Amino acid sequence: MTPTQLRAFAATVRLGSVKAAAADLEVTEAAVSMHIAHLRKELGDRLFTRVASGLVFTPGGLRLASRAIEMLGLQDLTVREVSQAGSGRRLLRLAASSLFAEHAAPGLIDLFAGRADDLSVELSVHNAQRFAHLLVTRAVDAAIGPRPATLDESLSCTPFLNYQVIAVVGGAHPLAGRQASAAELQEQTWLLGPSAASRTGLVPSVLRRLGIPERNQRIYQSHAAAVEDAKRGGGLALAVSFSVGKDLAAGDLRQVAGPHLPARGSWHLLALAGQEAASTASELRRFVATPRATQAMLRGSGVTAGRFRPAVHVTLWT
């Protein structure tokens, strides 16, 4: 078995067809079929058969599917560890939801990476629904975003920061500073960041609970761009509260209250459980809940330890 053959089979299993696997791997369908044929011959198992509804996998094919993902992940990990050993540097590959990546990741990464001269952090933005797959296949070492609806036992989940999403408008907007009804909110133009395009997370949840029609949603390349348009009177934006504190204090933005607003959420760090976790992911898991890390995420990393005085918040949970 070669890595190329295993990669072709794993893509076929994941996507449900040879055609989709070929497109994903950017090769021809004939190449994918050839790799699978070699596996069938070597293992003495058909692995799967085609039926009208798709592919039906044999017990051996299902076993190979799980092993292929594990073997490819270990191969990538080995290559990376050898490269790091040769260069004398360590690498943390971090996946994040768009909301965390824009508002809290810069301060966290700057402070975390600055603690060690041999550490580099590579950040990529993904839909939170892909976190489990990215971790299991070892495409990333850790992921930060909303807690998954279902959590596989192979993954650990560490909550570390609560946050609040509020609705804001420009100072001259008719809804500025007042309580709005559900009907009024549904009629507004909503200026949204890329997190609104996901199916998971706090922002999509708020939009669903409010029943905001898609025709009234405008999605921008960044959450900051959506908020800037709201300042100019373009409509109503959803923003992380700590990111717009100065604009609210200056009167450039006004908060709008209403059903399901404000909304509260929390960010979680996901990694492989136990000894399977990368050492850099374990370091980040211990660091991310410290007061210094919290300060860096909320305000950036440019505050010295001597001037850091964390506020005390008491939350009652039922």
Judge if 108 and 140 occupy the same domain.
yes
Q: What is the mean pLDDT of residues 162-183?
A: 92
Quote the strand ranges of the chain, DSSP E.
48-51, 54-57, 90-96, 119-125, 142-145, 155-170, 190-192, 217-219, 236-240, 253-256, 263-272
Judge if 180 and 251 occupy the same domain.
yes
Q: Name the band, by pLDDT with cuts 50, 70 and 90, for residue 86.
A: low
Contact (Cβ atoms closer than 8 angstroms) between residue 168 and residue 227 = yes
Last residue of a domain, one of 219, 237, 265: 265
Question: Residue 316: inside a domain, yes or no?
Answer: no
pLDDT at 79 over 80: no
User: What three-state secondary structure class fits 205?
Assistant: helix
User: Domain of 179: which CATH number?
Assistant: 3.40.190.10
Judge if 243 and 167 occupy the same domain.
yes
What's the confidence (pLDDT) of residue 300? Answer: 59
What's the confidence (pLDDT) of residue 316? Answer: 54
Q: Name the band, by pLDDT with cuts 50, 70 and 90, for residue 311.
A: very low
pTM to 2 decimal places:
0.69
Give the integer Cα–Cα distance in Å for 46 and 56: 10
Q: What is the mean pLDDT of residues 200-211?
A: 93
Q: Which residues of 180-210 are buried (b: 16+ CB within 10 A; e: fewer)?
A: beeeebeebebbbbbbbebebbbbbbbbeeb
Question: Residue 77: inside a domain, yes or no?
Answer: no
Per 3-state DSSP, the chain is made up of helix, strand and coil in percentages (nearest 5) of: 50, 20, 30
Question: Residue 137: inside a domain, yes or no?
Answer: yes
> What's the pLDDT tens digit per position in 243-290?
999 999 999 999 999 999 999 999 999 999 877 677 889 999 999 989
What's the confidence (pLDDT) of residue 242? Answer: 92
Q: Name the band, by pLDDT with cuts 50, 70 and 90, for residue 119.
A: confident
The CA dihedral of 312, 96, 273, 66, to the nearest 10 degrees, is 160
User: How high is the mean pLDDT of the chain?
Assistant: 85
Q: What is the DSSP letter of 279?
A: H
> What's the pLDDT tens digit per position in 28-49?
989 889 988 988 889 898 888 8
Contact (Cβ atoms closer than 8 angstroms) between residue 177 and residue 285 = no
Contact (Cβ atoms closer than 8 angstroms) between residue 194 and residue 230 = no
Judge if 167 and 224 occupy the same domain.
yes
Distant-in-sequence, close-in-space partners of 196: CB < 8 Å, separation ≥ 6: 190, 203, 204, 207, 217, 219, 238
Nearest one of 283, 276, 76 to 156, comparing CA atoms: 276
Judge if 156 and 184 occupy the same domain.
no
> What's the pLDDT tens digit per position in 208-255?
999 999 999 999 888 999 999 999 999 999 999 999 999 999 999 999
Contact (Cβ atoms closer than 8 angstroms) between residue 150 and residue 311 = no
Question: Residue 308: inside a domain, yes or no?
Answer: no
Judge if 168 and 147 occupy the same domain.
no
Judge if 246 and 168 occupy the same domain.
yes
Residues spanned by the domain of 222: 163-265
Strand pairing category for 119-125 and 90-96 = parallel
Question: Residue 307: inside a domain, yes or no?
Answer: no
Contact (Cβ atoms closer than 8 angstroms) between residue 203 and residue 191 = no
Q: What is the count of structural domains for the chain?
A: 3
More confident site: 11 or 275: 11
Judge if 153 and 170 occupy the same domain.
no
Question: Residue 318: inside a domain, yes or no?
Answer: no
What token pair was written down for 73? 């992940």
Residues in the chain: 318
Last residue of a domain, one of 72, 99, 116: 72
Distant-in-sequence, close-in-space partners of 35: CB < 8 Å, separation ≥ 6: 2, 4, 5, 8, 9
Judge if 297 and 246 occupy the same domain.
no
- Tell me the torsion sign for CA atoms 19, 21, 24, 29: negative
Judge if 291 and 221 occupy the same domain.
no
User: Domain of 67: which CATH number?
Assistant: 1.10.10.10
Question: Residue 128: inside a domain, yes or no?
Answer: yes
89: phi > 0 → left, psi -120 to 50 → alpha, else beta; which? Answer: beta
What's the confidence (pLDDT) of residue 3? Answer: 84
Judge if 285 and 249 occupy the same domain.
no
Question: Residue 311: inside a domain, yes or no?
Answer: no
pLDDT at 100 over 90: yes
Contact (Cβ atoms closer than 8 angstroms) between residue 288 and residue 99 = no
pLDDT at 307 over 70: no
Judge if 53 and 40 occupy the same domain.
yes
Among the ranges 51-65, 129-143, 295-309, which has the highest mean pLDDT value?
Answer: 129-143
